[in-house]
Structure 1
Amino acid sequence: MPCLSVFAAAHPQHPLKVLGWPEHVSSTLAELGLHYVQCFPAQPLNRASSDAEVLQAYAAPVAQLLAMGNGMTVQLVRISHGQPPADAPHGHCLEEHSHRADERHLMVAGQMLLSLHVDDSVYQLLCEKGDLIVIPAGMRHWLDVGTQDNCVMIRVTGSKQGEEIGLSGNPIATGFPRLEG
């Protein structure tokens, strides 16, 4: 079940509201221009599932993501504690940034804390298995996958130019809760 916490940007200690129902999370994020849905694999998966098995299990939602843009590519990202791959959301992604193109993430296993800075508010979405989120181009945000040992996500991306990270220089991310574990 998703968890969306809404904070005043100037007061990161206490959320103004916390939403847990997928429908409420989806409608709140839609007001900000984000697309959020839950989708689950067509067949059961486990930690030993191959990349091909994971992509086959999520073929329908991935096809929908690919239909949203031209020249899209699919990446299966596996993050193991201590050895994150070079293309995984880590390091610089803990800082507030944006991209020129939409970002699409589908959580397969583990968790990701997505923080969105919109006007004078910060929206923190705890994404888990089955959560699909499309972050619009230009939206300031940061991502945290913590130190968990099994984070797997499918990323659907466009051109390399659209993927370039534009750091905002705003240190706001340092004041907000991080993903534990």
Structure 2
Amino acid sequence: MTLLTTWSESGPGTVLRRTSEPAEIAAALAPAGVRYEQWPLRAGVAPDAEPTAVLAAYRPEIDRLTAEEGFVTVDVASLHPSEAPGWAETARAARQKFLAEHTHEDDDEVRFFVAGAGVFYLHTGGEVHAVLCEEGDLLGVPRGTTHWFDMGTRPSFTAIRFFHEEDGWVGTFTGDDIALRFPDFDTLVAGRAERGTA
């Protein structure tokens, strides 16, 4: 279940908003220009399915969004726990790449979660919004929005990525350590389970 948690940018001492209602999440994020919607899941698409199978399964939604937004590149990013040698190091490096606050000057960051989960942290309007995205969630972060992303200590997700530019993911890091001051993916997921909202 998706979860939106909002705090003041000064720190996580006081929760300003917590909701798992899709309409409330969309309404809360809309003033920042953030796109949030849910797509129906396709039966038979395994979390570790080949990218071509994932893209084929969601072709109608991909074509609609591409027509609306003018995307030029669509691909699939996937990382799931494995016993293969070196997996832990690969996962740690992948997680670290996105943990610091950054922006994208030339493109939006648009992701649809086919499987698994991840948290986008949006720092905008004096607030930090943590959007725990799970399968079926699409989130579009407008270019220039300061944010970071956490996939957790044992990443498990498959996501369709949309780009306006052929260069793909290019981040400009702010140098701010704000990400260190807010609960990470694992803490948010554990807290949700403790509250009985898993």
- TM-score, length-scaled by structure 1: 0.89
Change (3 A) 1:47 1:163: closer
How big is the shift at 1:66?
Answer: 1.6
Residue identity over aligned pairs, in percent, reads 30
- 1:99 correspondence with 2:140: no
How big is the shift at 1:19?
Answer: 1.3
- Give, in whole Å, the separation in 2 of the partners of 1:71 and 1:35: 15
Letter in 2 for 1:139: T
- Give, in whole Å, the separation in 2 of the partners of 1:17 and 1:160: 36
How big is the shift at 1:119?
Answer: 2.7
Report SS of the residue matched to 2:185.
Answer: coil
Gaps of 5+ in 1: none
Contact 1:108–1:130 (Cα < 8 Å) also in 2:
yes
Q: How many residues in Structure 1 have an aligned counterpart in Structure 2?
A: 179
- Give, in whole Å, the separation in 2 of the partners of 1:14 and 1:7: 6
- Give, in whole Å, the separation in 1 of the partners of 2:56 and 2:21: 28
Structure 1 stretch displaced more, 127-136 or 5-14: 5-14
CA deviation vs aligned residue, 1:22-55 (integer Å, no higher than 9, x gap): 0110111112111100002343322353322211
Aligned to 1:169: 175
How big is the shift at 1:160?
Answer: 4.7
- TM-score, length-scaled by structure 2: 0.81
Gaps of 5+ in 2: 82-87, 190-198
1:140 to 136, 146, 161: 146
Change (3 A) 1:38 1:12: same
Contact 1:39–1:132 (Cα < 8 Å) also in 2:
yes
- 1:116 correspondence with 2:119: no
Letter in 2 for 1:115: Y
Letter in 1 for 2:96: G
- Give, in whole Å, the separation in 2 of the partners of 1:32 and 1:48: 33
Runs of 4+ in structure 1 over 4 Å off: none
